[in-house]
Chains A and B, each alone.
Chain A
Amino acid sequence: MTTLELDGVTKTFGAPDAGGVVAVDDVSLTVDDGEFLVLLGPSGCGKTTTLRMIGGLETPTEGVISFDGTEVNEVKARNRDVAMVFQNFALYPHMNVSQNLGFGLRRENEDRSSEEIIDRIEAVAEMLEIEGLLDNTPAALSGGQKQRVALGRAIIREPRLFLFDEPLANLDASLRKTMRTEIDELQSEVGITSVYVTHNQEEAMSIGDKIAVMNDGRLQQLGTPSEVFNEPSNQFVAQFVGSPDMNLYEGTLTENGDVYRVNVGITEFDLPSGLVQAGDDVLDVVVGFRPQDLFQSRTRQTGGPKIEADLRVVEPLGTEAILYGETEGRAIRATDTQFHDLDEDQSVTLSIAPEHIYLFDANTEELLKGRLMTEREDTGVGEVEVRDGAGAEVRDG
């Protein structure tokens, strides 16, 4: 129904020369009709400001926002037909649930019949399973219930766009997981173009069709969850996406006949030249290992570099554990399912498949080589695809 486009959108608060803040800096992106875009980034990076500009609550300093090709910069929020779910729910405290839901419908069209409004309130309440709460005031609701009402208030109008500003941040962890599935299902059901803001990369991965990673007001990358995970455009994205954090080591890349020689201090290895395109003879690089890609040599042969590490802490998370180790004075993190017989302070040999190694240019922090699929995991990446139940087995290999 609606394609959203941002072209060079910039927002500056205050005068730029007098200590003003550039909250959003030259962001361009397109969200296709019915698509679910997640704006992901650390707090303060301009996600909310971007969302508010889309909703019409802020005016861009520069650039163009358009719906279906029509510029809406000057269109007031109330005329954009956009619905927004706020982090703190922002329910009207003096209205009961039913009035909260119906308020927008009434404002949209004063002549709408009360029967129609009541019908739609009931339909939405049923969809969200809050039929029993219609007469309660927001003060009497739990966090999860408030969240449902806030969602209901957004979907009842069947707007052109849904905007979500960290809608789950105020809920506890278990509720967050169920609600995020519900939002995902709800959005697919109604098929309305959506922009969803979060600083939680796991949430972004699981809910988004596309992810726009932002930092410092700038768009870092726009891509599908697996693109963002496997081919992060730069070091920032690589570090921000994925948990635990990626291991990063500075090193050098030297052309050596058919192969590239990589030396990162803690280990040294060759990469086939087919895997990486690099011009210079010697290049300062940053090498990245995802903890999920590091395996103990005894459990799995990766055919890649080996790293001796002294274990410091083993943090069990149920089926797997995070292994915190140290190698040549550098910290290293790995995850593994074979951890029950491990002692803290013992040493382990970790290794990683060459395809899984990330390389970044140390000067520009841009990606030189991303993570490629190996034959053994043609179903995709563990972290990203866990929802489909395929990636989980990969690690047990």
Chain B
Amino acid sequence: MAADTTDPAEEFGSNRSWLYDTTPGFYLRKVLIWGTTLGLSTFILFPLYWMVVTAFKTTSEIQQIPPTVVPETPSLEGFRLVVESSLAAGGFDSFLGWDISSAIDIDVLLLIANSLKVAVGAGLIALVFGTIAAYVLSQQEFRGKNAIMSLLLASLMFPGTAIMVPEWELISTLNLFNSHLALILIYGAMTAPFVVWLMKGFFDDFPDSILDAARMDQCTPYESFRYVIAPMAVNSLIASFIFAFLLAWNELVFALTLLNQSKFTVPPGLLTFVQGFNTQWNVVAAASILVSLPVLAGLAYIQRYFVQGLTGGAIKG
């Protein structure tokens, strides 16, 4: 009856508990798996859900106890206030001939512009320096190479705020207080180690024979770079850039401490809307959604490069 099998995989398969062999076991398994998935999803998604519904509530509904799970009187009030005051701050109100008299003072466009400036700058710095370092670390043999790689990895595990005080001193010495350049440098330095690790993996895996093939195809070094290395590196470069960009986009503590309100990026900017008992939470939520949209759209578009870049899918031909 029982097959005389010596295949370890099959033996392993036949040696299962009642969880696998019985109908109740089958359902219990399903329930456990679904329950865990549901619990985790709720934990991750509920705050996002709460932000979205809050944005569509009126101020009075937000203060209701017990809170409502679904807005009873959906309203775009929060969005209206954010958009109007941003337009006003940007001087577009007179241009459009609108009369805006909002109590709050929000300039989402400026926040986004500041954040973009800082995040793109930091991304480029991390990319340029990280890629060059990665290339050298991959291609050259020298003493202390492993130590450098370990140090870079350790710096990624280190919370940035732990070196707040020396950073403060540094920025002060460089006379860069209240400048976006300070943030660009700090964020760039914080993310460059990640870029080094990612791009070193890329260069380590880069087949020498492809470069040889390019040389035999009569490429100059520049042409090899332009037509062969660069296109093949694109995914890894995009992944590196996104990583650095997102860190800079989300970072709060340095931005809050090194900038004045006039130059705030998105995270500290949103924080200024939180004003104790007077906080208009629907405005905060609406602003949060609005500033997330451009990044979400961008990420959705380049997501596939991100995954390919991280997994090295570009090279395996």
Contacts and interface: CB of A to CB of B under 8 A. Distances in A.
Interface string B276-317: 000000000000000000000000000000000000001111
Contact of B212 (A90, A103, A137): A90
B213 interface: yes
Give the one of B207, B212, B216, B227 with max A CB within 10 A: B216
A91 B212 CA distance: 11
Interface string A49-80: 00010011100000000000000000001110
Contacts of B213: 84, 86, 90-92, 153
Contact of A78 (B210, B219, B232, B317): B219
Contact of B216 (A55, A91, A92): A55
Nearest to A163: B216
B316 A77 contact: no
Interface in B195-215: 207, 209-210, 212-215
A55 B220 CA distance: 15
Contacts of A83: 216
Nearest to B215: A77
A257 to B, nearest CB: 62
B231 interface: yes
A334 to B, nearest CB: 39
A93 B316 CA distance: 8
B231 A94 contact: yes
B209 A86 contact: yes
A287 B219 CA distance: 53
Nearest to B211: A90
Contacts of B232: 92-94
B185 interface: no
B220 A78 contact: yes
Contacts of B140: none
Nearest to B230: A94
Given A57-B212, A107-B223, A93 B315 contact: yes
Interface string A26-67: 000000000000000000000000001001110000000000
Contacts of A79: 218
Nearest to B235: A94
B99 interface: no
A118 interface: no
A138 B314 CA distance: 12
B217 interface: yes
B218 A90 contact: no
B279 to A, nearest CB: 51
Nearest to B219: A107
A94 B217 contact: no
A79 B220 CA distance: 10
Interface string A157-197: 00000000000000000000000000000000000000000
A288 B119 CA distance: 76
A92 B258 CA distance: 47
Nearest to A78: B218
Interface string A120-138: 0000000000000000011
A104 B210 CA distance: 13
Interface residues of A, number: 26
B219 A93 contact: no
B216 A84 contact: yes
B317 A153 contact: no
A56 B215 CA distance: 9
A1 interface: no
A107 B213 CA distance: 12
Contacts of A55: 216
Nearest to A84: B216
Contact of A92 (B215, B228, B316): B228
Give the one of A78, A86, A137 with max B CB within 10 A: A78
A139 interface: yes
Contacts of A213: none
Contacts of B214: 92
A82 B216 contact: yes
A90 B217 contact: no
Contacts of A52: 212
Contact of A104 (B209, B217, B220): B217
Given A93-B317, A94-B314, A108 B218 contact: yes
A88 interface: yes
A77 B216 contact: yes
Give the one of B207, B214, B215, B217 with max A CB within 10 A: B217
A49 to B, nearest CB: 13
A346 B214 CA distance: 60
A103 B316 contact: no
Nearest to A76: B215
B226 to A, nearest CB: 11
B215 to A, nearest CB: 4
A92 B227 CA distance: 10
A57 B215 contact: yes
B316 A139 contact: yes
B207 A90 contact: yes
Interface in A346-368: none
A79 B317 CA distance: 28
B246 to A, nearest CB: 26
Contacts of B215: 56-57, 77-78
A104 B224 CA distance: 11
Interface in B238-263: none
B313 to A, nearest CB: 9
Interface of A: 52, 55-57, 77-79, 82-84, 86-88, 90-94, 103-104, 107-108, 137-139, 153
Given A79-B218, A91-B317, 7 more contacts: A77-B218, A78-B216, A92-B213, A93-B315, A108-B218, A138-B317, A139-B316
Top 10 closest A-B pairs, CB basis?
A: A93-B317, A104-B217, A90-B209, A78-B218, A90-B213, A77-B215, A107-B218, A84-B216, A94-B231, A138-B317
Interface of B: 207, 209-210, 212-220, 223, 227-228, 231-232, 314-317
18 contacts: A52-B212, A55-B216, A56-B215, A77-B218, A78-B215, A78-B218, A82-B216, A90-B209, A90-B213, A91-B213, A92-B228, A92-B232, A94-B232, A103-B227, A104-B217, A107-B219, A107-B223, A137-B317
